[in-house]
Structure formats: structure tokens, C-alpha cells
Amino acid sequence: MVTRIGIFTGGGDCGGLNAVIEGTVKAAVHEGFEVDGILKGWEGGIHDNRLPLRISDVEGIHSTTGTIIQTSRTNPYIFTGELDGRMFEKEDVSHRVIENLNKAGLEAVIAVGGNDTLSVIRRREKDGNLRGLSPDYKDAPVFVGIPKTMDGDLQTYSLGLDTAINRAKKVIEDFIPLLAANGSIGFVEFFGRDVGRVTFKAGISAGADVILLPEVPIDQDYTFDFIANRYDERAKRNNGTSHVLIAVAEGTTNPITGEKVYLSPGEDSFGHGKLGGIGDKLAKILEDKLRNDPRIRSHTKSLDIKTQRPTYGVRGGETLYSDSYIGQKLGVAAVQALIHGVQSGMAIINFNEYGQIELMPIDKLIEPRPIHIKLLDAFEKSGLYCFGRRPLGNYEKPSFLVRNNSS
């Protein structure tokens, strides 16, 4: 019977993390467990940085974005830094995590994170075999995951997604009147390394004109032609007043080079570079292409392009109700799953209305989940948006669920 557990949050901060912590601690204490917060994700496991969590420490934090136990992008398999007076350079120190957790008497650990953080628990080697912290050590704690990522690239709903979309939507809505007042074309760049779910959903819900995603290579000629036509048509409808807004995910590739755009060289411990700047790159390309285009110049003396990259502003602010609710629910479900003997390497993905805890193997959970291209087809066919590509012209007929009421 598990009686002492740890919880940590890894990767980028977002809405819902504190809700998980509050739900977990309250449920665990109610069941007679002791709970330690492991500070800064896997980094806390390496350095044995923990603090006890009581109900008084977590009460009321569910609507606060961020995480009271902090976070980091530390990978114990590729650790760089100082440990026990020695300097390490990309070395495997995963055994220290197990040793420290065992020394602390932690029988189970709840890891709240995305594909990088959770991949440490169930890591796929080059030969296709699964290796993880728990199977490698006979006396390792039980490791269970809770999905978290504002990118929305896991196989199920992940904490932080709704809050991020809502914040991104507000950024676009606030930007549009400014663009209209100045007759401008605007680019706004959001997080999204490989999957553009935040940009896609925020762009549609806030009324962007063009939505550019990592999943879709940009057809430069078609896209810029769409922008010029949209500007011209809007000006003709509105007595010369016009604007165009382009929402772009940071992982969208440059249409000239076919490569992603990085802010600086180097990679983190999970092999990711720091993306950023595709919005500015596209703005410069567009300016060169459309500077003298009559569809724009007939309504304004000069082409004015504005860009913004809200970055961490999308992570902050008040946590949306759905992430606050789901976070607490998943925290409660994780504690119940531990009580009932959940296997290590599983993720808690839902606690449904029937009181059933739904699980998924972590290696399945962290498989990429790109935008469904058929959704793009439908919006394109309706003439609402441009997704950086030339419409296909031949769409499958939609399928309908027909209910048989004869019985």
C-alpha cells in the first residue's frame, strides 16, 4: 500500500498545474498519505530537492497559472551541470533520481508534463525497445503521468491547452482593431513547435484571416495572393478601411528555406532549439512581395506591417475554468489510481462521469497528434480562412452519424 508520494511538474509552465497539485495533495492527505513536492521537475529528483506539501500550502491555488513547485526542462539521461562537486556534460544520471526517491521513502511519483518530461519514464531506444526509469530498477517507485502541454500535441486533452487558446484568442482580438485603425497587415506568432493547435483554434475563434501551421508547408505565391485579395475585398466593403491578420505557429517553416526559424543556436537537454522569429521573417518576405501591389496601394499610401510575439504572455494570466477543473480531477484520479495499484508507466487521462479512471500507456500518450487536415479542408471549402496552401479542390463528402430510431 502506497503511503508516501511525490509530485513534480516538468517542461513549460501553463494553466492547470497548480490545480493538479491542489487536487493531488488534498486527496492524498485525506487518504492518509504524505506528499512531497519535487522541485523543478526531474532536476529536483537529481539533486534531491523536495519540500513537504500540506493542505494549507495548496488551498486555493487551483486558479493560479504557473506551479508552486517550479519547473524545468531537465533530462536525467542527458544531464549537464554540477552534481556532488563534479561537472557533468550530457551524462546519464538517471540512477541518482531513483536513489534519491528511495532515500526519501517515496513509493510513487506523479509526473505532470508533456512529451519530453514523460518520455523520461518511458523512453524509446533506437532499437525500438522501451526503456524507462521504473523498469530499470527493481525497487523503483511507481511512476505515473498526467498529461500537460499547452501545445496540445499529446494523444488526449492536456492541461494548459484551453487556457493558452483563450489567451491567444484575446491577443488576436486586441490586435485586430489596431490593425484596422492603421490599415495594417499584422503577424502574431504563438508557441507550437511541431503542432499548431493553439494557433489553429485561437486563429479561428478570434477571426484571423490566415493561419499558418507547422503541419502545412507554405505556398508562398498562393498565400500572399490571398492576403492581397483579402485586403482589397475588405477595403471595398468598408469604404477603404482594411486590415489582414496572420496567425502563425513558431514551428512553421520558412517558405524560402523550408526550415524552422530559431532565435539562437544550441539545444536543450531534449534536443530542441529555441524557436522564434518566423513571424518577422514572413513579414519581411511579404513586404518585398506586396510593397507595390495595386490591391493594397489603391487603398493606402504605403504597406504597413506590424508584428508581435506574445510568447510567455500566453502562458500567464488566470487559469481557465476547464484547466482548473480538469487539473483537480486528474490529481484526485492519480491518487485513487495509486491506491488501486496502477502500473508504473501509465498516464491518468480522465476521471469520467461514472467514476472510472481512464489510463493510457505513456509511450502511446506521447505520440504526436497533429492538426486533423480534414478540418482545414472544411474551413477552406467554406472560404473562411487560408492555411498557407492552395485549396485541394476535391474534398471528401462529410460522413454523418445516422441514428436508427426504429427500435
- Max distance between CA atoms of the chain, in angstroms, equals 76
What pLDDT, in 10s, does the model give residues 38-87? 999 999 999 999 999 999 999 999 999 899 999 999 999 999 999 989 99
Structural domains in the chain, CATH included, are 4-159+319-365 (3.40.50.450), 165-316 (3.40.50.460)
Task: Indicate if the pLDDT at residue 129 is higher than 60.
Answer: no
Cβ(229)–Cβ(242) below 8 Å = no
Strands 357-361 and 346-351: what pairing?
antiparallel
295 contacts: CB under 8 Å, gap ≥ 6: 228, 229, 231, 232
Measured torsion, CA atoms of residues 77, 79, 82, 87, in degrees rounded to the nearest 10: 100
C-alpha cell at 144: 505515473
Out of 42-56, 173-187, 329-343, 384-398, least confident range: 384-398
Which pLDDT value is given to residue 380?
87
Query: What is the structure's pLDDT at 393?
Result: 66
Which residues make Cβ contacts (< 8 Å) with residue 30, sequence separation at least 6?
none
How would you class 248 by CB atoms within 10 Å of its CB: exposed for 0-12, middle for 13-18, buried for 19 or more? buried
* Pairing assessment for the beta strands 86-91 and 108-113 based on DSSP bridges: unpaired
